[in-house]
Each structure stands twice: as C-alpha cells, then as structure tokens.
A and B are shown apart, each in its own frame.
Chain A
Amino acid sequence: MSYLKLNSLKKTYPNGVTAVKDIDLEIEKGEFVVILGPSGCGKTTTLRMLAGLEEVTNGSIILNGRDITHLPPRQRDISMIFQSYAVWPHMTVAENIAYPLKLRKMDKHTIHSKVQEVARICNILDYLNRYPAQLSGGQRQRVAVARALAVDSKLSLMDEPLSNLDAKLRTSVRTFLKEIHRNTGATTIFVTHDQAEAMALADRIVVMNEGKIEQVGSTREIYNQCGSLFTAQFMGTPPANIQKVSLISNQERLIANDKNAETQFSLDLGNQSAFPGIDRYIGEEIFLAIRPENINISEPKGINETSIEIVEPQGAYTILVTKVFGSEWKIMLEGDIDIRIGQKVSLIIDPGKIMLFDAQSKKRVNFS
C-alpha cells in the first residue's frame, strides 16, 4: 500500500468549472513528485484539495493509511509553501517559524531549539528578529521553507514556490530545496509549470493537462518516451517537432507524407523493420514527433532534402529552422555550426528516436 493515494479525485467549482477530473495517483514515502502542467490545468486545485483548503467533489485521499478526504486542514499534518510565501507580516521571522509549533503545543525550549535549527539550515539565523517587510523576496522564501521544515509533517506541499524569484535565484533555491529533500527525506509534492524546474527536482513527474493526468514517470521517461502527444508538445525547449502525416511503405522504407498534399514533401523515416507492428498504420494518418536534438544534417543526398531558413547560435548549441511539410521544424545541433541561410541539407533521423501518436486517441503508438 502506497504512502499517499488519490482515488479518482475530482473537483467541480461552484461556478461549474471542473478543474480536476478523475485523478488517480500513488506516491511512495520520501518521494519528490512534481506536478507539471500548463497554466489552468488544475495543479493548484489538486494541491489545495490535498491540503484541505478546497472541498473534494468526488473521490478520496488516503495519507499513510488514513482517509483524510474530509478532514479540516489542521488535522491532516501537512505543511505547505505557498506561491506568495504567505509569511505573516505582523510576526517576526522567529515568530513565523514558531507559530505552527506553538499550535502543536510544544514547550518553549523545544520551540526555541527547533527554530534555531531550521533557521540555520535555511541560512536565516541573522534575520530571526526581523519582520518580513524587512526581507528580500529570496529571504522571505527561505522563511517559508523554514516554517514548513520546522513542522515534521507527513507531507510537504509546494505550489510554485520559485515563481516569484528572479531566474538566477530560482536555480540556487532549486538546488537548496533538493538538498533539503535529500537530508530530510520528506515526501514532497511540488507544483510548477516550468519543465526545467520539474526535470531538475523530480524523482517522478506527473504531467497534467486539462484536469487529467497525461503521464507519470521519471524525467527520462517523460522526456524520451512521451506517453501522449500533449507531453511531446509540452516538454522540451524547443518542444518536439510535430506533424500529422500519413504513412506509406515504399520498398521496405517507411515514408511519411504530408497530410494535405500541398507541399509535396515526404520524409523518409528509415527502414520499416525499425518499426515492428507498424503495418496496421500504413495508409493511415498518424502524428509524427521528433525532438530537435534528434535530427542531424548532412550534405544534400537527394533524400529528406530541405533548406535552412533561420540560424540561431546559442553558444553551446545552435538552433536551425527549416521547412518540413510546410511548417517550421527546429533542429538543435551541438556547438557553433557554420552554416548559411538558404543552404541545402539532408535531414538524418534516428528511427529509434521517432515518436508516433495515434491520430484519434493521441496516445503513443508503441512498437515492441
């Protein structure tokens, strides 16, 4: 039995918006799980249901073997870091950290040493007597972390805790959060719409879209074996190149043709034997997705020929933009590539890195 279990969790707001539809999720003790999804997909709603701040419309939440679905927030033994930090402005840093401990009826001495301990970890010892108004955003954020850390809760929730920090601070606090998790092993659910953040932090990523879970998996799985078209579109900067094509077989080679034959472009995907079981999709429409870094280029060889339209050098890598099937595809190459605009090239694609998605269900088509 897993540590935290969400059973077909559903939330419909009074105004009729169903923000979360049937979520099933199991989380092990000590895991760092990141819920990732675009804005408005129901991440915050899910988290708020876990915290008890939003009533559950349907389904149940089991934490450590106890059904907490309808318990008030204070009885759930959960800590939370809010997007706005929610440190109380009328209390000093020390009082902020001590407040939850006082509510837990700890004695003065224990509270004092606990405050000192977490303040040291979060590096805010010098600010204990200051009010939040006298702190910078990053320091306030650490106060919020310290406050959550001080209560040894069963579950730690974080709703985009880094989104109010500037880019540089964000990466350093990210490292700091990961370090804390490594030391405490607290079961954590972290919500974000930033995939870089998700990939850097997560033991497991839960990709959400429109109130539903699209895919659950490790960073590697989510990135390389997208379970659905949405994940392929959502993950990666730049995201995967995607085109709706119809497949044909030509002399043992798998060819993707433009769905609306205007451009007359056809892409050779390689030996059909690399796609076992593809037979039933021959002649059918299908979504084709290839990540920019999985495309290479070579001298024009009369196959998959196209011309380079834009070159964006990024220092460590170069992004090329070319027209494939009439739409812009991005190619990501390591290093600083010397290439000019208008140059003709052939695209080289590793068949193993091609992702195909069913045109109807938009789920991954697996070959194995």
Chain B
Amino acid sequence: MSMRPGKLWSRTVFLLILATIASTVILPILYFLTISFASNYEAYQFPAKIFPTFSYSAQLRYNAEKDSYTLLLKKGSTYEAVKTTQDVSDFSLYCKSQLNVLLSSAAVQELFNKAKNTDHALPIKLKKDFFRNYIVFFILAEGSMCALFNSLKAAGWTILISLILGGVSGYIMARYKFKFSNTFSTSLLVVRMFPAVALSLPLVVYIMKMNLYDTSFALAIVYAVPNIALTAWITSSIFKGISVELEEAAMVFGATRLKTLMTITFPLAFPAIIASSLYAFLAAWNDSITALIMTNNNPTLALLVYRTVGSSTIPNLPAAGAVVLLVPSLIFTFIIKNYINQLWGKVAL
C-alpha cells in the first residue's frame, strides 16, 4: 500500500492536513477556551484575544476636583478609562463582576490611598481570578452533578439500546441476503430523517403512560431510535469488513455457528463497534431539545447548560458551560481511542 510521493507533494499534503486541523479543531477550541476564561469586559473587546489572559495592566487616577477615582485599562498602547467612582465597594463590585478580579474592600482602600498620594496615575496590576466563570457557572447551575449523572445514564442506555438492536440489524444486513434486504436497509435510514422533536412529542404520551417520564431511560429510547439505524449501517460495514473466511475457518475447525459468532465475529467487530458507540454517545450527550420535552426535574447536563446560560448575552459564561459539557465527551473519546490502539499488537483499524 505504501507509495513514495515526491517531497513537494508530501509537504503540500502535510500543510493541507495542518490547515484542516487548525481550522476545524484547534482554532474553535482555542476560541472557546479563551472566551470561557474571559471577563465580561474582555468578552466585549474587539478583536477578541486568541489566548486567555491572567491579569490586567491598569492605572488608577485620583481626580482631586471631584474626589473620585478612575480606573484605566491598557488597550493597545493607550489607556482607556473604564470606571470612575468615589465608593470603595462600588469599585470592588465592578472589578468582580466585569473584570473577574477579586479585591477586598481593604485592598481597594489601600489602592485609593496610594493613588491619592501620587501626582500621576498609579500603575497597578490586577490579577484575574482565572476560573471565575466556571465557579459562577457551577453556582448558577444548581444540581449540575445530578445533571452530569443523568447525562451519563442517558448516554449509557442510548449506547446499549442502539448497539444491541443496531448491531443485530447490521449483522443481518452484512451476512444475509434475503428478498427485501435492500428495502430493509433503506427503510432504516428513513427513520433518521425524522427530526428529534417529531419523534419525542408523540412519544411523550406513551412514555407518561408507562410511568417513564422524566427518566434517563425514556430519553435514551428517543435518542436511540434514529441511532439504531446509524449503528446498523456502521456495524454492517464493520461485519462486511470481517472476512467470511475467518468465520468459516472456525466452523471447519470445529466451532458451532454460535461459538463462531461469540469467539470470532463478535470479538473482531468489538473495537469498531465500541468506536461507533461514540455516535450514540454524542447524540445523547449533545441533545437539549429532546431533553427539554422529555424531562422535568431530572435535566441532562446539556439541558442544564442551556437553561442556565442559554439566554445570556455575553458569550463567556455559555462558553464555560460548553467547555464543561465538552470535557466528558473528550475523555470518552480518548479512552476509546487508547483502547483500540493497544489491541492486537497495535493494529491500526
């Protein structure tokens, strides 16, 4: 399979890959992270910063005629006045809410005194409370641990349901040719065309009748419906990729059909199936619309993020929520990737 492309060619390919990774992965994630650490003040600045900041370079000026203090923040090469006040607690509140800087009244008073005693503006460094947005987010988002647990449960059920049902259909699609096999596989796709809302609204009634409303399992059912089809298609290509000869060899050497399935086919398909469970996981993890309809007191994390910061006009808190949502799925992905990479003598699948 290996060919030796020219140096220029391989360099071009390398650059293209780099550009793709940069534009689809690195830049958005970096932007998200930076915004999630930004204070309100920073979030309004344009152009936005690429990297998060840890402190502000500022000046504090005393205006003798009004007996007030003006805070100036460095912007480019000049300083911009952002707050003028006479009151210590007003100043402290501004720092906390707009700049994510925590200053006690005593500390502010000390700064004021210093500024009063200098002729020029007093140069100061204001240290940011770096994780302020996250703390605020978790304070606002009450019961986020519970929601995280709900999300995990819903994702787990979704994976289980879609892998079992989708896997069986996938195996049938891959190994058996019957009269309507094409119709069967196409009709599976049709299910995917329904919008989630169209599925969940009518289902709510039945779910309520079954006393399953507001449970992760009910959510998983709705998530699984379109996912079964996707999983079936993915697993069918996985099963098709497993040479029939491998199964036949097992049967010739003494295995029953069931034994072959359990010791050859399934173990061979397993890593790829696990990888495909990522789709089910993400479908469950990222949804908030269905959860909005199907849950009440037991929201999922995505729904909680949406409820908490969905109406916010400043992007930094939602970004923090998004990062909170993102971390578990990243962990899940890496675990899977590692697991697959060390299988069977590090065969790349």
Contact = CB atoms under 8 A, between A and B. Distances in A.
A133 B240 CA distance: 19
A103 B251 contact: no
A103 B251 CA distance: 10
Nearest to B270: A90
Interface in A220-270: none
B190 interface: no
A51 to B, nearest CB: 5
B268 interface: yes
B245 A103 contact: no
A88 B264 contact: yes
B45 to A, nearest CB: 53
Interface residues of A, number: 28
Interface stretch (A55-63, A75-83, A185-193): A75-83
Contact of A90 (B248, B249, B259, B268): B268
Interface in A14-63: 51-53
User: Interface centre among A82, A83, A130, by most B CB within 10 Å?
Assistant: A82
A89 interface: yes
B249 A86 contact: yes
User: Interface centre among A73, A82, A130, by most B CB within 10 Å?
Assistant: A73
Contact of B252 (A52, A90, A131, A133): A52
Contact of B345 (A72, A73, A76, A131): A131
Interface string B244-273: 011011111111100100011001100000
Contact of A78 (B243, B252, B264, B347): B252
B344 interface: yes
Contacts of A99: 250, 253, 263
B251 A133 contact: no
Contacts, number: 72
Given A89-B268, A89-B347, A131-B345, A84 B245 contact: yes
B252 A80 contact: yes
Nearest to B260: A74
Contacts of A182: none
A134 B345 CA distance: 7
User: Interface centre among B243, B246, B256, by most A CB within 10 Å?
Assistant: B246
Given A88-B246, A89-B268, A90-B267, A79 B345 contact: no
Grouping DSSP codes into helix (H, G, I), strand (E, B) and loop, the B interface class, with mixed when no group exceeds half, is helix
Contacts of B264: 88
Given A74-B254, A80-B252, A86 B347 contact: no
A308 interface: no
B347 A53 contact: no
B345 A130 contact: yes
A182 to B, nearest CB: 24
B257 to A, nearest CB: 8
A130 B245 CA distance: 21
Contacts of A72: 251, 256
Given A84-B243, A89-B347, A74 B256 contact: yes
B248 A74 contact: no
A147 interface: yes
B261 to A, nearest CB: 13
B347 A79 contact: no
B253 A79 contact: yes
Contacts of A134: 345
B251 A74 contact: yes
Contact of A53 (B248, B254, B256, B345): B248
A100 interface: yes
A76 B244 CA distance: 19
A84 B255 CA distance: 19
Contacts of B254: 74, 100, 103-104, 151
A128 to B, nearest CB: 13
A195 B252 CA distance: 27
Interface in B303-349: 343-347
Nearest to A54: B248
Interface in A80-125: 80, 82-84, 86-90, 99-100, 103-104
A20 B193 CA distance: 47
Contacts of A78: 252
A86 B256 contact: no
Contacts of A84: 243, 245
B259 to A, nearest CB: 7
13 contacts: A51-B248, A53-B252, A74-B251, A74-B255, A80-B253, A86-B245, A88-B250, A90-B343, A99-B250, A103-B254, A133-B345, A133-B347, A151-B254
Interface of A: 51-53, 72-74, 76, 78-80, 82-84, 86-90, 99-100, 103-104, 130-131, 133-134, 147, 151
Given A73-B252, A134-B345, 16 more contacts: A51-B248, A53-B248, A74-B251, A74-B255, A76-B252, A80-B252, A80-B253, A83-B245, A88-B246, A88-B264, A89-B246, A90-B268, A100-B253, A130-B345, A131-B347, A151-B253
